[in-house]
A and B are shown apart, each in its own frame.
Chain A
Amino acid sequence: MAKNGYTIFNYVMEKGSVRLNGMVLDEKKNSLFTVDVDSEHMIVAPKEKISFDAFLRFFATILTDFDPTAAVEEVQ
C-alpha cells in the first residue's frame, strides 16, 4: 500500500484472521478515509468530502495488488 501512496494508521488487525479496521491517508489525492476489511468485504468510507477518482484509484490498487476479481457495491 505504501508504494502506491497509502498509509494505514491507527488500525486494528486481528492475528490469524482476515480482519482490519483503520484510517487510510491517500497521499496522492490528499484524502482521508476509513476501511473495514473481512474475508468477504472491504468497506471504504470517507472521513470528509473526497473526490470520486480518489475512490477509483483505491479500487484500482485493490484490483492490481490484492484481488483482480473485486467488484464495487454501494452500501445503502
Chain B
Amino acid sequence: MRGDVVIRAQSLGKRYLISHDVQREGYTTLRESIARKLKRLARSGANDRRATMSRGQEVEEFWALKEINLEINRGEVVGIIGRNGAGKSTLLKILSRITEPSEGRVEITGRVASLLEVGTGFHPELTGRENIYVNGAILGMTRAEVRRKFDEIVAFADVERFLDTPVKRYSSGMHVRLAFSVAAHMEPEILIVDEVLAVGDAEFQKKCMGKLRGVAKTEGRSILFVSHNMVAIKQLCRRGVWLQNGKIQDTGLIDEVVESYAASVHDNLKTGDFSRSAVTGDGQVELVSYSVSNPNNKNYLPLATKDDMLFRVNLRIREEIRQSACGISIFNEFGVLMTSINTVELGTPLPPLPAGNATVCVRIRKTAFLPGLYTASFWVMNPQGHIYAMAENSIAFELAQTALYGTSQVDHRWGCVYSEVEFSVAPTTT
C-alpha cells in the first residue's frame, strides 16, 4: 500500500564534522579561520603531504545517524526511544527539514509540523493573543487558520482571562499550556513531538496525551513521539523505534521494543563502576564505584521488595570539604521517579569530608518498590547547590521476584509500590 506511507526514509545518514582544535562547536570566528588558512598556506608551501595530514587530524567525522530505513504510515503513532545522543533529535531535525541529510533520501507526503519546546517563538513582551498568531505563523498556519481555531486554542490552554497580558507575566504552567495548545491545533499530516510533555502539571500532561491520541485516532494524522518517559510512550504509541548509536537497533510493537531497550540500559549499568561520561561536576569529588545490597542478607539471596536496601557509593575527595550535602533519586525502568531524598531536606547534614577516600551509605528501610529494574542518580553538592559530582541514572539494581500478594508474578501492571493491604467485610446494620 504505497499510497499510505507518509514518511519513507532510505539509508538515511547525517554526518557532523567535529574539529578538535576548536573548543566550541558549530560556528567559528573569522579570526580563527583566517589564522588557520594562513597556517595551512605556510605549511603547504613547505610540505604538501603534511598539510593534508594535519588537516585530517583537525576534523573528525561523526555519524549521528547511519543507514536509517524507516516507513511510517498514515495515522500511525510511532515512539522513538534511545539514550541521549542516540540520534533521535537528529532524525527529527531531518524529517522536519531543519537540517539536511548527508546521505540517503526521505520522501515525505504532506505537511510536517513540530510541536515546539515551550515558548519557542513566544515573545515575552507580546500578549497571549499576539503570541498565538506569531506562534501559529511560525508553525506554518495561516492567519485564517489561527482565527478559525482561536477559541479552541484559548479554551484548551485555559488562559482566557490573560489573553491581553504580556506572556512575560505568565506562570510557567500557563506558558506551556498555551504553547502546546497552539501546536496541537495545527492540522499537519505529520506531527513531531520531541520531549515536550516533560513539563507542565500532571493534569495538563494527561490532557495533552488525550489530545494527541485524539489527533492520531480521529483525524488520521501520523505522530512521531520522542520521550524518555516510557509510560507515556507506551500509552500513546503502537509502534516503537529504538535508536542506538545512530542506527535502528530494534523496531516493532512498542511494548516489546521498550522492554528490550530497558533491559539493555540495565545491562550497561550493572558494572558497579561509574562510567566517566555519565558523571558531571567540578571534579572536587570523584565518584569511583557503588554497590546496592541488602545489609541484613546472610543467605546471598537477591535483593527484593520489603528488604532493607543499602547503597554504598565510594568517593575520592580532592580537598577537604567542610559543608556538603548528598542525595539520591530512584527511577523505575519506565523512567518514573520513585523517590528522591537528600540530606538537606532530611536535616541531617554530612560531616566534613576530609581529602582522600570515603564511602557514603544510604539506607532505605523496607523498600516498597515492586520487583523490576531500577536506576538511581546520585549527587554531592555544597549547601548552596554547587555540584561537586553528579551521576545521572548511573546506579542500576534489580529487585527480584518474590512472593508478593500471594503470587510471584508481580510486575508494573500491579503498580509501582507494594502496600500491606487487608480486605475485610463486616455486615452493616441499617
B partners with A: no
